[in-house]
Amino acid sequence: MQQPADLLTSHGLDALWVTKPENVRYLSGFSTPKDGLVLLHKEGALLYTDARYTEQAKEECFIPQHIARHSDVIQHARTLLEGKVVGYEADALLVNKLHQLAGLQAKKLVPTEGILEARRLIKTPEEIQLIRQAQQIADEALRQALPSLRAGVREVDLALQMEVYMRSHGAEDRAFDITVASGYRSAMPHGTASEKVIQEGELVTFDWGARYRGYYSDCTRAFPVGEISEELKNLYRHTQKALNLALEAIKPGVMTSDLDQVARGYLEEQGLAEHFVHSLGHGVGLAIHENPHLARFRPDLPQYNVPLQAGMVITIEPGLYVAGVGGVRLEELVLVTETGCEVLSHAPFAEV
Amino acid sequence: MQQPADLLTSHGLDALWVTKPENVRYLSGFSTPKDGLVLLHKEGALLYTDARYTEQAKEECFIPQHIARHSDVIQHARTLLEGKVVGYEADALLVNKLHQLAGLQAKKLVPTEGILEARRLIKTPEEIQLIRQAQQIADEALRQALPSLRAGVREVDLALQMEVYMRSHGAEDRAFDITVASGYRSAMPHGTASEKVIQEGELVTFDWGARYRGYYSDCTRAFPVGEISEELKNLYRHTQKALNLALEAIKPGVMTSDLDQVARGYLEEQGLAEHFVHSLGHGVGLAIHENPHLARFRPDLPQYNVPLQAGMVITIEPGLYVAGVGGVRLEELVLVTETGCEVLSHAPFAEV
Ligand SMILES: [Mn+2]
Ligand SMILES: [Mn+2]
């Protein structure tokens, strides 16, 4: 990482009060970041947490720690920040906590967004290795669940089976509530597993991931149960084609909105674009959704459109959702490389 | 509930912008409250959520719904709030969202805390029934896990077994990361299950709960594996005595700090109070920790000391933690009744 002093100076700050859990973990290594915060200042960084975590913090952190009760943190930090220009994360600080920051007696409190997120855009080899492992655990979870996929099984039971596999094979947790969406429910982009019983002739969407040492994975597959309709098969094949076209187009320098358009343009040609109701993908790392956004260009949000760079980890996840028919989404987790990309997800695909 | 108009008037507000998930669920019945908000105004209440939840909201909500994209919510709400005095929940609104509220063109934006929490203090019979069911699922999860408790088993495997039981028997989720803390780890008040292997002669703390239709349960037990030391047995028996003394003292009118002192005073007499490092208990409902706080009287926080009232649901959870020896916590979930209390938790106790 750029030296803290340079990073802060470039934003006109003397220090940054870091409360977003993934940024706290990024800066410290502390694995319970919701119960800590990091003060980033020009000489370095300091983790604050409470006495429950003294030993854990000592073991995990690569920055110094200060153990204090909540009420004492401000008092301690004031000795470092009084009269200084102090940034805080406006998208990760509650209004009532902002009132507490007045106690720092800073010269100025500056709302910021995205400073550390910009650093997290390019992954180090160590980070890539952790994401790879998170995805491997997830790949295997689908493999061991697929034999249970048949008519008569409830969605929630498959989801639970996958989660149990991941958590008993090294995952800290599921990455998010697992989607298992069958039949009419597959037409919903966010079909968290329900008690619905899967039926013959349905297509079933799985969207799942693991969290491994703080890092996430994310992958989507769709599998038919028995024989499915020609209409569903068509949706499946066009989604797969859109996915592959986008994967082939990935390389450094390609703008994220242009990549989105590769998939969307193909679906437009097929007269299906109206059913692709979300964006193409997103970055993955210490958060399940992070920069970059892979989406259509929006004139009101030009900052979302950035060139791909080697070291980014992104998802490519075209989907088609047709009410009354069903839906398909297929998602790969991808590392952008110097020459193109490496697909990190290796979960099996259906043959449709 | 008191009529919205009266509630708002008593706080000098024309409306309240409700973003705390448990309050959103309380006011609407919406089961995905983190993706919604409620506008409480003098004529009633309105749920805002997005198009992913149109059908779900229609099915679940007992108040009207308005479906809109995030960017359109402020625009719609402005027609109701322009020129009005609008409260917001300062402990449940991010600073950058507060900036968006400027778009409401309210006469005044007022930070508030605890308005709806005060309403949630006394549970309705329907709420009590849901908490009862959440606790029943949890009771059974321990019963079916106990046969697996033996030397050689990992803490995480027991925790996962309990969670799987709860989620496959109606629970929406675990109430919190389950504590299974054995041997030296039982000396930590918050020992989320680790990969530690349980050994002969250890005492094992279980702290777990279920979430059922939004409502939580919370319970703690400790079980020996084989023969444990006299020192641990003593800690166990004194904890159990402190628990029972506190349970016997519960009735409407008793101040929460006095109830805390019933348990703490007993442990003081035994020379053990220094090892009881947390408060006696907390309210449970749509949040796992809510009002009232059952804790020592603090002159700087006099508002935490309130009289018990019939209809409160609270935990009683004395614990003793001795570094190098181990720890014990025992927790019951309790309904305050007109004449005393009813213990809602029925998980078995060890015989020590
Ligand atoms: Mn995704
Ligand atoms: Mn508790």
What ipTM was assigned to the predicted interfaces of this complex?
A: 0.84
Q: CB A156 to CB B164 under 8 A?
A: no
| A216 Cα–ligand 1 center, Å | 10
Residue in B52, B96, B189 nearest the CB of A113: B96
Which pLDDT score is estimated for B157? 93
- In tens, the pLDDT along B281-336 reads 999 999 999 999 999 999 888 989 999 999 999 999 999 999 889 999 999 999 99
Q: Is B156 close to A164, i.e. CB distance below 8 A? A: no
**Residues of chain A contacting B95 with CB distance shorter than 8 Å:** 88, 90-91, 93-95, 98, 111
Structure tokens at B289: 């920790």
pLDDT at B269: 98
Query: A92 in contact with B at a CB cutoff of 8 Å?
Result: yes
d(CA B167, CA B131): 16
Q: How far is the CA of A121 from the centre of ligand 1 (A)?
A: 16
A185 to chain B nearest CA, in Å?
12
Q: For the segment A260-299, what is each residue's pLDDT rounded down to a tens digit?
A: 999 999 999 999 999 999 999 999 999 999 999 999 999 8
d(CA A282, CA A180): 21
- For A193, which residue in chain B has the nearest alpha carbon? B172
Instruction: Please list the residue range(s) of chain B that carry CATH number 3.90.230.10.
Output: 125-343
Q: What's residue A2's pLDDT?
A: 64
With an 8 Å Cβ cutoff, are A168 and B188 in contact?
Answer: no
Q: Which residue of B has its CA nearest to A113?
A: B96
pLDDT at B165: 96
As a whole number, the mean pLDDT across chain B is 95
Percent helix / strand / coil, chain A, rounded to 5? 40, 25, 35
Report the pLDDT value the prediction gives residue B107, as an integer from 0 to 100.
98
Closest-CA distance, A191 to chain B, in angstroms, reads 10
Domain B125-343 has CATH 3.90.230.10: yes
Rounded to whole angstroms, how far apart are CA atoms B180 and B141? 13
Q: Are A242 and A280 in contact (CB under 8 A)?
A: no
What is the secondary structure of B88-157 as a DSSP string? EETTS-BHHHHHHHGGG--SEEEEE-SHHHHHTTSPPHHHHHHHHHHHHHHHHHHHHHGGG-STT-BHHH
Interface test with B, best of A18, A56, A95, A153 (most B CBs within 10 A): A95
Among candidate residues A295, A298, A297, A347, the one with its CA nearest the CA of residue A316: A295
Inter-chain touch A94–B96, beta carbons under 8 Å: no
B residues 93-122 closer than 8 Å to A (CB):
93-96, 98-99, 111, 113
Residue A99 to chain B, least CA–CA distance (Å): 10
Q: Where along chain B do the CATH 3.40.350.10 domains lie?
A: 4-119
Fold classified for B4-119: Creatine Amidinohydrolase; Chain A, domain 1 (3.40.350)
pLDDT at B323: 87
Bridge-based pairing of strands B44-49 and A332-336 is unpaired
Vertex B258 angle, CA B252 and B261, to 5°: 135
Q: For residue range B193-225, what is the model confidence (pLDDT) as tens digits? A: 988 999 999 999 999 999 999 999 999 999 999
Whether chain B has a CB inside 8 Å of the CB on A69: the answer is: no
Q: Which of A302, A40, A98 is nearest to B93 (CA)?
A: A98
Residue B1 scores a pLDDT above 70 = no
Residue A12: the pLDDT is 97
Per-residue pLDDT for A346 more than 60? yes
pLDDT tens column, A252-268: 999 999 999 999 999 99
**B90 has a chain A CB within 8 A of its CB:** yes
- Say if residues A226 and A316 touch (Cβ distance below 8 Å): no
Contact A315, A343 (CB under 8 A): no
Are A96 and B88 an interchain contact pair (Cβ–Cβ within 8 Å)? Answer: no
Q: What is the C-alpha to C-alpha distance for residues A86 and B306, in angstroms, rounded to an integer?
A: 39
The torsion of the CA quartet A262, A268, A272, A274, rounded to 10 degrees, works out to 100
- In Å, how far is B184's CA from the nearest CA of chain A? 13
Contact B95 A90 (CB under 8 A): yes
**To the nearest whole percent, how much of chain A has pLDDT over 70?**
99
Q: Which residues in chain A are contacts of B160 at CB distance < 8 A?
A: 164, 167-168
Is A160 in contact with B164 (Cβ distance < 8 A)?
A: yes
- Hey, what are A290's tokens? 């992070």
Distance from the Cα of A182 to chain B's closest Cα (Å) equals 17
Interchain proximity A157–B164, CB inside 8 Å: no
Least confident segment among A302-306, B4-8, B233-237:
B4-8
Q: CB contact, 8 Å: A152 with chain B?
A: no
Model confidence at A197, pLDDT cuts 50, 70, 90, reads very high
Is residue B88 within 8 angstroms of chain A, CB to CB?
yes
Confidence of residue B53 (pLDDT cuts 50, 70, 90): confident
Question: What string of DSSP letters covers B144-209?
Answer: HHGGG-STT-BHHHHHHHHHHHHHTTT-SEESSSPEEEEGGGGGSTT-B--SPBP-TT-EEEEEE-
On average, the pLDDT of chain A sits at 95
Average pLDDT on A150-161 reads 96
| pLDDT at residue A1, as a whole number | 55
Chain A nearest C-alpha distance from B170 (Å)? 10
Please compute the mean of the pLDDT values over residues B110-122 and round it to a whole number.
Answer: 96
Contacts of B52 in chain A (CB under 8 A): 188-190
